[in-house]
Amino acid sequence: MGLIIIRTILIFITLLFVMRLMGKRQIGEMQPYELVITLIIADLACIPMADTSIPLTYGFIAVLTVYFLHQLVCLIDLKVPKAKKILSGAPSIVLNKNGIDETQLAKNNLDVCDLIESLRGAGYFSLDAVDYALYEAGGSFSALPKKEYKNQENSLSVLLVNGGRFDEKNVALTGKTKEEYLEILRGQGSNELKKVLVLTVDGNGKAYLQSKGQKYKVFQIPFQERLW
């Protein structure tokens, strides 16, 4: 019994630690410790239930230990703010008025594609549509749109450069070549492709460019006709 309690506590701590290391992507909409409980409680209940060689008491004790740990973590969460940050994490502002914060993205094992996907999920189809975007401690995504966002003529943006690399399929979709885009980038002061964090373009030709460690730029790329 004591062994089961100690083993359950050890597995709980290990899973919680690993979940916190994995970042917000794996969490979904739960707090890390809630996800850990969801992960282990099913097996704790099912294994003694299905395997008749294990006394059911083992299942009861393990579930009771998980309940105890849940109450303990809830209490720490409420009463010790510093511990709350360790146990549940803190919100990560991944996009601010200067553009994408790649450090915060990397910290949560996310890339620009994930950010664009989250923005689309929140109803924003362009990186310059929001002033702030953040992943909450529980993994959910929130964004603060720009004041003028509603009046903008919006169109779906596609990713042309992600982390210093061209997305060849999207480049072909716009009807321009990589060389032409390199020329455009040079015109914007970005001489090295590998230093470009992100370049997107929407159907109206509006481009969003951000070089690593710099503020983003929005400019117009001339196309003969509207792209999409």
Partner 1 sequence: MWKTLSGLFVSLLLLVGLSIYEIRYVTTAMDRIRDAAIGLFHLTEERCATHEDGNALRLLWEAEKETLHIWVPHTSIENIDYHLNEALGYLYQENYEDALPKLEVIIDMTETITHSIALLPGNVF
The contact set with partner 1 (CB under 8 A) reads 1-3, 5-7, 10, 52-55, 57, 61, 64-65, 67-68, 71-72, 74-75, 78
Q: Which is nearer to partner 1, 77 or 114 (CB)?
A: 77
Rounded Cα gap, residues 128 and 124, in angstroms: 9
Q: Which is nearer to partner 1, 52 or 224 (CB)?
A: 52
Quote the least distance from Cβ 1 to partner 1, whole Å: 4
Structure tokens at 222: 């001339």
Q: Which is nearer to partner 1, 72 or 86 (CB)?
A: 72
Q: Which is nearer to partner 1, 2 or 222 (CB)?
A: 2
Q: Count CB-CB contacts under 10 A for residue 1.
A: 11
Quote the least distance from Cβ 12 to partner 1, whole Å: 13
Q: Which is nearer to partner 1, 6 or 106 (CB)?
A: 6
Quote the least distance from Cβ 56 to partner 1, whole Å: 8
**Beta strands 217-220 and 206-211, pairing class:** antiparallel
Q: Calculate ∠ Cα 160-165-169, nearest 5°.
A: 45
Of 53, 72, 51, 84, the closest CA to residue 8 belongs to 72
Amino acid at 92: S
Quote the least distance from Cβ 170 to partner 1, whole Å: 51
- The dihedral of CA 181, 187, 188, 192: what is its sign? positive
Quote the least distance from Cβ 19 to partner 1, whole Å: 21
Q: Which residues contact 31 (CB under 8 A, 6 or more apart)?
A: 77, 87, 88, 137, 138
Quote the least distance from Cβ 3 to partner 1, whole Å: 5
Structure tokens at 44: 């704790």
Structure tokens at 56: 């059911």
Q: Which is nearer to partner 1, 9 or 122 (CB)?
A: 9
